[in-house]
Amino acid sequence: MAGQAQIGVTGLAVMGRNLARNFARHGYTVALHNRTPERTHELVEHFGHEGTFVATDTAEEFVQALERPRRLVVMVKAGEATDAVINQFAPLLEPGDMIIDGGNAHFADTRRREASLRERGIHFVGTGISGGEEGALNGPSIMPGGSAESYASLGPILEDISAKAADGAPCCTHVGADGAGHFVKMVHNGIEYADMQLIAEAYDLLRHVAGYEPAQIAAIFREWDEGRLGSYLIEITADVLDHVDAATGRPFVDVVADEAEQKGTGRWTVQIALDLGVPVSGIAEAVFARSVSGHTDLRAVGRSLAGPERTPLSADEARMFAALVEQALYASKVISYTQGFHQMQAAGAEYGWDLDLGSIAAIWRGGCIIRAAFLDRITAAYAKDAALVSLLADEQFAGEVAAAQDAWREVVATAARTGVPAPGFSTALAYYDSLRAERLPAALTQGQRDYFGAHTYRRVDREGVYHTLWAEDRSEQRQS
């Protein structure tokens, strides 16, 4: 029947299929379209009992099946494929209709597409969706951008199918204009990279310094999951470490090649941070750690390099060290979130987005990969002070990190002494110390720049911009 579907999904691979099923399960009539119609009819055949679907074979049929204003969700590969779908459907739409891009698009592409379609009266809603295929089906965290007008029509549907936090609040909010939704999803993924790296370093230290086996470390992580480190990533880490490979009987983590891959959103986070002049060193180190893991030839040569001997710890020493690692992991995690939220704050100012950082923290409390217990407290910190410059300016977070700093320093020092790489822990601590330093050696750096390039400098004792005539000064000093 023409115009009966409240929402439509085109692109029915795993994420698109599960998102369509999620809409249907919540009582919405869902129009379906795919480049190959066979996949459309297969979905209806296998899951038609879950709700009301309208299978269509052509773009024209798909658009005609949608009620106005039309809400068309695109779930295809980011880049050229997304542009191709937009070019296919935009001529068939009318002013007021909306195209919702649920892929991992680069926010700059989203801004370009939004501006182009806005001229034609079509709303383009770049929407970050986190939670993987399970989240898409059972409730993801959803980060839509675009116009306020489009959210008035689309938002209630997205909020309905989103994950719900422990207090029942939907994990979906209107993030901001044009590319804001995809930008926030990008930063989410950058924090995810950092979080995973820190957890991996904690495992590495517990194994190669404390001497624990994977199953023992799994038990430690499950204990941590009951406390302030409670999170989805800690939970699944314990499951991975506890898993035994059926073919060999060895711990699963020992039979997996130690080469971590990446899809690009972490790199984008770092690249854009450089453009914005924002330090996201924790995320950068996580990206570089994955890069190092993939350079197998380089690592093969490096294995012959000299390093320190490791002295096994006693059972009591191992337990004490594990407690130190918990504190270092928590403090470093706070730093990663601090850097990510700072980047969003800077982007809001740069691109004219009115980002509500507390609301963003709130929608990350459920459904998404970085969902964690302490996001409730981040939400509360921004509710208390919406203009909070840094999470470390919040009294509670600052106090916790201060209380953890001795343990944190001991873990970083131990990693260096024993030759266990811990770039995430180390760079997080360096960032913390950079913020608390009375003066940084950047004064010397600026002096060097002025010396070789006449880049000028500012002074602490007077206003203005200065340049020293270094050659003349050298000559005068020699003569004296």
Contact between 30 and 24 (Cβ < 8 Å): yes
CB contact burial 454-478 (16+ within 10 A = b; e otherwise): eeeeeeeeeeeeeeeeeeeeeeeee
Burial of 114 (0-12, 13-18, 19+ CB in 10 A): buried
* CA 111 distance to own-chain centroid: 19
Catalytic residues: 185, 192
Cβ neighbours for 149, distance < 8 A, ≥ 6 positions apart: 123
- Cis (ω within 30 of 0) for the bond into 69? yes
Structure tokens of 252? Answer: 């699963």
CA distance 376 to 367: 14
Q: How many CB atoms lie within 10 A of CB 236?
A: 14
User: Which of 267, 268, 257 has its CA nearest to residue 288?
Assistant: 267
Whether 56 and 65 have beta carbons less than 8 Å apart is answered as: yes
Give start and end residues of each alpha helix (H) in 209-314: 214-225, 232-242, 252-255, 265-276, 281-294, 296-302
* DSSP tag of 93: -
- State how far the alpha carbon of 180 is from the alpha carbons of 129, 153, 280, in Å: 13, 18, 19
Alpha carbons 343 and 39: distance in angstroms, whole number: 40
Dig out the tokens for 137 from the structure.
């089906």
442 contacts: CB under 8 Å, gap ≥ 6:
none
